[in-house]
Structure 1
Amino acid sequence: MKHAILQVALDLLDLDRAMQIAREAVDGGAEWIEAGTPLIKSEGMQAIRSLREHFPDSVIVADMKVADTGTLEVEMAAKAGANIICILADADDSVITESIRAAQLYGVRIMADLINVNDPVSRAKHLESLGVHIICAHVGIDQQMTGKDSVELLITLSGQIHVPLAVAGGIDADRAGEAVRCGAEIVIVGGNIVRSADVTGSTKKIRSGMDAPAREIPKKKSADEETHNLFLQVSSPNITDAMHRKGAMTGVLSICGKVKLVGRAVTVQTFAGDWAKPVEAIDVANKGDVIVINNDGGTHVAPWGELATLSCVKKGIAGVVIDGAVRDVDDIRAMKYPLFAKAIVPNAGEPKGLGEINAEIQCCGQYVRPGDWIVGDESGVVVIPAERAYEIARRALEVRKNEERIREEIQRGSTLSEVVQLIKWEKK
């Protein structure tokens, strides 16, 4: 097995932050340094010039994503100090050939990025015939969020072409080792390095994974298992950020404090403390589900209490959310059960049997359908549409990673406004 190269992708907006992260990544074993597309768009060719100046012995990659004017853009990046320039594989052949001619003139190499290419194997073979130096199996971040996988793309290409293969998109230490085993000669890592609180440590871990890949590929989880696991790793604020500040219930609080709620919704419509349908929903719900109750806005009488909660505990129901009141909270708190409600009252209702189970309802300002995902913690409760749950879970994890790096920079003495360049990036 050849020694695979680790390339760090600086997909950031601010050059000063990118330079610091690059230094830490190089200390951890990154060999090639990429000026990512966001950095180039934000800082221009100065990003490449600065990387060349501060890392004179490193290979500098310019992720230009060239789609037109191949000669001009390759020339720009080459003169700024790039050794490798990335172009889009689905650009017209005329752009590809002009980029290669310019690369020959300036003594640099061309990496073609297969992002969004419909027939990657055929296109990769054609690009090789045109003279492209490196082919990159890349699944973009928005595609990753929906479940597309860069290593699976790499596997389809392995053995089909003779130029070096790179892989990019969602690569962590385990996936890096798998990618090397599947034929990658260049492993490109962005978020799992640059968004880490410990960039050097994360880089070393990925480098180690590449140098000693695990022999067995971990068994792939089901979509529901993976979604559930991802939601356990993120907070309700992470999720609302991932949903563009949407999905949050209003006025509902965690009755038991620091508890975590993750599961699919079993919905209940009831009225004025009628606890028949809420309790019947316990029998309908499966292990790991969340019972979500609309009490028609009433908080003067409770449709839920300790005995219903105990039933949920025994059946393995993940939690309960009530647009209304709850009682017996001393007993419920002793169970440390994930129960969220608007109010606490001692009054119980009567089991009249009004309402229905598993119809679309409104709960605390949000529409909830049976099967939608519910995530709750001390910050509140969020509703995630079932059809977007995996995507949102992945995006929320990226939000959390980004915050980890920002938190580390604040710990080092910066402020939030300085880290995110608030004044620079205010809407003009």
Structure 2
Amino acid sequence: MNAVRQLKKEFPEHAILADMKIADTGAFEVEMAAKAGADIVMLLGNADDSTVQDAVRSARKYGVRLMADLIIVEDPVKRAQELEKMGVDYINMHAGIDQQMTGKDPTPLLERIIQAVDIPVAAAGGLDAVTSAQAVKAGASIVIVGGNITQSDNVTESARKIRESVDATEIPDFKRQTLEQETRRLFSEVSTPNITDAMHRKGAMKNIRSMVDGKKMVGTAVTVQTFEGDWAKTVEAIETAGKGDVIVIYNGSPHIAPWGGLATLSCLNKGIAGIVIDGAVRDIDEIRKIGLPVFATTNVPNAGDPKGFGEINATINCGSQVVNPGDYIIGDDNGVVVVQKERAYEIARRAKEVEKNEKRLYEEIKRGSTLSEVLKLKKWEKM
């Protein structure tokens, strides 16, 4: 409540919304927020009716308004109508952070709620300058923006862009990318450390490094299981792979290469995104001139023979990570990470949040803080 008091003191002419997410003791928490200076108090839309009704009575007593948050409500349209009848002043259509990570588009539901009630409807959940404008276009009276301002390295500029977008007289049509397009875009914008952080420090291939410095690789796996020095299946996989794929090879030896310059050039012509080898490569000078991202354990001069043993597009183990065909493979100068295809979009979104947070931390450290101070390590150490 001290935060509410401070905001009201600094901005007495502005409406202050206290996002209490009240689930119980409705009257008590509304009173607490109102006395601290809140003008609008948020309660959970799935709170019991008795809690909502008591919160409404308290709001009328103390002269504040109520907003109901529909996060995780099973039937948001029906519940919005019930909340309106009970006296709630605003409805908040809120897509939770974990829901956002799975790629659910809340716009159709927002439009249905707006049509179902006569009170103002707010939109919240992952909104940025573009999606805030789209929410207004859909009929939202209020947009609530969190992480895209608070986690920005320049909060003023981020807030200004959002303000300008919702005030624009003409809001352009926004064509959303497919999940695959958006997944690839997000992975291309973040680092492999961002991704492993988003996966709770998992997914990194062991002992595999970039053979071509400064190259970023994002693509879906075409897997190859082969044997020491047998390069037949690795080359045949070039015919199987398509544009934007990554060929992922388990070779079984750091001493005999199943891959070299000619195979790399063939991949470049097909638009293949890169190569990952649990094993060695050769022709490293040619590979670096070609410039295609290639990741391996080492480089050696000698190759084996095309015997034809092995399999294409089977589940393999590469760098101590299980890789299935279609999994996302991301590589940069830090190394290579594998992300299960079923969770690729979610992990890409979570990695983007990690990146935003790190940019904010960089700015705070530049202003003179230490990393320990910024992260409040001593406060959060396990006692």
TM-score relative to the length of structure 2: 0.97
Aligned to 1:325: 280
What residue ranges of structure 2 are gaps of 5+ in the alignment?
none
Aligned to 2:70: 114
Q: Which amino acid aligns with 2:16?
A: I
Give SS of 1:346's match.
Answer: coil
Q: Which amino acid aligns with 1:130?
A: M
After TM superposition, list the pairs within 5 Å mapping 1:45-64 onto structure 2.
45-64=1-20
After TM superposition, list the pairs within 5 Å mapping 1:192-211 onto structure 2.
192-211=148-167
Which residue of 260, 274, 283 corresponds with 1:305? 260
The alignment status of 1:245 with 2:191, answered yes or no, reads no
The alignment status of 1:415 with 2:370, answered yes or no, reads yes
Give SS of 1:59's match.
Answer: coil
Aligned to 2:46: 90
Task: Give the distance between the partners of 1:293 and 1:168, measured in 2 at CA.
Answer: 44
Structure 1 residue 165: Cα displacement = 0.9
Which residue of 104, 128, 134 corresponds with 1:178? 134
Aligned to 2:351: 396
1:69-113 Cα shifts (integer Å, max 9, x gaps):
111221222222222111110111111101111111111111100
Task: Give the distance between the partners of 1:143 and 1:173, measured in 2 at CA.
Answer: 20
After TM superposition, list the pairs within 5 Å mapping 1:206-285 onto structure 2.
206-212=162-168, 214-285=170-241
Cα contact 1:167–1:184 (8 A) shared by 2:
yes
Q: Which amino acid aligns with 2:72?
A: N
Give SS of 2:296's match.
Answer: strand
Task: State the identity %.
Answer: 61
Structure 1 residue 425: Cα displacement = 1.4
Q: Which amino acid aligns with 1:405?
A: R
What residue ranges of structure 1 are gaps of 5+ in the alignment?
1-44
Give SS of 1:111's match.
Answer: strand
Structure 1 residue 305: Cα displacement = 0.3
Cα contact 2:223–2:313 (8 A) shared by 1:
yes
Task: Give the distance between the partners of 2:169 and 2:94, measured in 1 at CA.
Answer: 20
Q: Which amino acid aligns with 1:172?
A: D
The alignment status of 1:350 with 2:302, answered yes or no, reads no
Structure 1 consecutive aligned stretches of length 4 or more whose deviation exceeds 4 Å: none
Task: Give the distance between the partners of 2:184 and 2:340, measured in 1 at CA.
Answer: 14
Structure 1 residue 214: Cα displacement = 4.8
Cα contact 1:174–1:213 (8 A) shared by 2:
no
Which residue of 269, 272, 279 corresponds with 1:314? 269
Cα contact 1:227–1:390 (8 A) shared by 2:
yes
Task: Give the distance between the partners of 2:172 and 2:160, measured in 1 at CA.
Answer: 21
Structure 1 residue 256: Cα displacement = 0.4
The alignment status of 1:337 with 2:292, answered yes or no, reads yes
Task: Give the distance between the partners of 1:220 and 1:344, measured in 2 at CA.
Answer: 43
Distance 1:263 1:105, change over 3 A: same
Task: Give the distance between the partners of 1:245 and 1:158, measured in 2 at CA.
Answer: 41
* RMSD of Structure 2 on Structure 1 (CA): 1.2
Q: Which amino acid aligns with 2:324?
A: R
Task: Give the distance between the partners of 1:103 and 1:51, measured in 2 at CA.
Answer: 20
Give SS of 1:100's match.
Answer: helix
Structure 1 residue 319: Cα displacement = 0.3
Task: Give the distance between the partners of 2:46 and 2:211, measured in 1 at CA.
Answer: 54
Task: Give the distance between the partners of 2:27 and 2:171, measured in 1 at CA.
Answer: 44
Give SS of 1:424's match.
Answer: helix
Q: Which amino acid aligns with 1:367?
A: V
Give SS of 2:247's match.
Answer: strand
Structure 1 residue 213: Cα displacement = 5.7
The alignment status of 1:134 with 2:90, answered yes or no, reads yes
Task: Give the distance between the partners of 2:244 and 2:170, measured in 1 at CA.
Answer: 32
Task: Give the distance between the partners of 1:337 and 1:214, measured in 2 at CA.
Answer: 43
Cα contact 1:180–1:213 (8 A) shared by 2:
no
1:222-249 Cα shifts (integer Å, max 9, x gaps):
2211111111111111111111111011
Give SS of 1:149's match.
Answer: coil
Task: Give the distance between the partners of 1:85 and 1:305, measured in 2 at CA.
Answer: 65
Q: Which amino acid aligns with 1:134?
A: Y
1:174-204 Cα shifts (integer Å, max 9, x gaps):
1111111111111100111111111111111
Task: Give the distance between the partners of 1:48 and 1:335, measured in 2 at CA.
Answer: 59
Q: Which amino acid aligns with 2:19?
A: D
Task: Give the distance between the partners of 2:212 and 2:49, measured in 1 at CA.
Answer: 62
* Count of residue pairs the alignment pairs up: 383
Task: Give the distance between the partners of 2:123 and 2:178, measured in 1 at CA.
Answer: 24
Give SS of 1:101's match.
Answer: helix
The alignment status of 1:371 with 2:326, answered yes or no, reads yes
Cα contact 2:103–2:179 (8 A) shared by 1:
no
Structure 1 residue 267: Cα displacement = 0.5
Distance 1:422 1:214, change over 3 A: farther
Structure 1 residue 336: Cα displacement = 1.6
Cα contact 2:134–2:174 (8 A) shared by 1:
no
Aligned to 1:292: 248
